[in-house]
């Protein structure tokens, strides 16, 4: 299929034998906790609206994820207009969004150190009891304070509390190919994507460089190296099949920085994205898992 490319004055055709569209849009209000699907949302510079603006940290301000605390997967967050609700089993807590009077904390996420607002003692005590260790809940009130890696995004757009980039894009065809190589299937939730694409061939997203979804323009900047979070069942926090899917991915998707599934991306032009939106390919390039 031909895709008209018209971006920054350029007009050309990108010919591909498929017609991709959006199958799922997922938001993760709290880094490491469960996500939920939405029918439409706004893709902002820092990521999808409401995505990964909250985070759990230890008493030293170091971020925690399912790598250290797989039990985070048992917590279901829900964003309200003024509150974040957290539910596990029959227990729910409602946490007001911290205002300008909230305690400001310095926290560390990978190589970034930034200032965030604390979610309060009640939330910290509740979460500490659920997770079995002393933790605090914090809120990123100003995403502009954190920037993406200049190596992959020279314009250094802002980013939420995601690991490194505002968006993660995967495809159903790539997951199908992976599952055909394993004894037991894994669901897409293991990879915690923001945008899931259907209607393309397996690993086609490796070649995408610039795409348009609705009015939103997105640049895919780097294959996503996968970690132990993919071993965790995203409802129970258990690891039902030790070493999978990483063991199988390593047999055919290994790059210099690890095993790859999905593409990290930045938002070039903000806009609304919806389920079933057609994805226009504006630029494509060669596959490089060592990026």
Question: What are the per-10-residue average pLDDT scores of the chain (291 residues)?
Answer: 46 72 98 97 97 97 95 96 95 96 96 95 97 97 92 92 96 98 97 98 97 96 96 95 95 95 97 97 94 82
Q: What is the pLDDT of residue 18?
A: 83
Degrees (nearest 5) of the Cα angle 243, 230, 161?
Answer: 145
Q: What is the pLDDT of residue 213?
A: 97
Q: What is the pLDDT of residue 253?
A: 98
Q: What is the pLDDT of residue 205?
A: 97
Residue positions counted in the chain: 291
Q: What is the pLDDT of residue 110?
A: 92
Distances (CA, A) of 142 to 67, 104, 115, 275: 26, 12, 9, 28
Instruction: Please compute Rg for the chain using Cα positions.
Output: 19
Helices (DSSP H) in the chain: which residue ranges?
121-131, 172-180, 246-249
Determine the distance from the C-alpha atom of residue 163 to the mean position of all C-alpha atoms in its chain, rounded to a whole number: 8
- Token readout for 251 is 């047999």
Those residues with Cβ within 8 angstroms of residue 246's Cβ, 6 or more apart along the chain or in another chain: 226, 228, 230, 231, 259
Instruction: Name the one residue in this structure whose structure tokens are 């899931």.
Output: 196
Q: What is the pLDDT of residue 12?
A: 52
Among residues 224, 114, 205, which one has the least CA distance to residue 165?
224
């Amino acid at each position: 299929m031909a895709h008209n490319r018209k971006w920054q004055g350029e007009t050309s055709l990108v010919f591909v034998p498929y017609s991709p569209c959006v199958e799922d849009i997922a938001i993760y209000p709290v880094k490491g906790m469960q996500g939920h699907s939405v029918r439409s949302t706004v893709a902002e510079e820092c990521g999808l609206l409401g995505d990964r603006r909250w985070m759990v940290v230890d008493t030293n301000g170091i971020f925690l994820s399912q790598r250290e605390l797989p039990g985070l997967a048992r917590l279901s967050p829900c964003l309200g207009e003024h509150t974040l609700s957290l539910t596990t089993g029959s227990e729910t807590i409602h946490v007001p969004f911290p205002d300008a009077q909230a305690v400001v904390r310095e926290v560390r996420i990978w190589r970034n150190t930034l200032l965030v607002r604390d979610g309060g003692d009640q939330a910290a005590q509740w979460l500490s009891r659920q997770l079995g260790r002393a933790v605090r809940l914090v809120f990123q009130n100003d995403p502009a304070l954190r920037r993406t890696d200049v190596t992959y995004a020279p314009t250094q757009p802002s980013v939420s509390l995601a690991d490194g980039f505002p968006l993660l894009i995967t495809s159903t065809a790539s997951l199908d190919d992976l599952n055909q190589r394993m004894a037991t299937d894994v669901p897409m939730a293991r990879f915690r994507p923001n945008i899931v694409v259907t209607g393309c061939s397996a690993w086609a997203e490796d070649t995408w460089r610039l795409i348009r979804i609705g009015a939103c323009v997105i640049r895919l900047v780097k294959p996503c190296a996968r970690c132990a979070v993919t071993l965790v069942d995203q409802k129970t926090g258990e690891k039902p099949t030790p070493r999978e899917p990483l063991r199988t991915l390593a047999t055919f998707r290994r790059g210099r920085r690890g095993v790859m599934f999905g593409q990290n991306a930045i938002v070039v032009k903000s806009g609304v994205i919806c389920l079933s939106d057609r994805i226009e390919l504006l630029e494509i390039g060669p596959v490089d898992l060592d990026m």
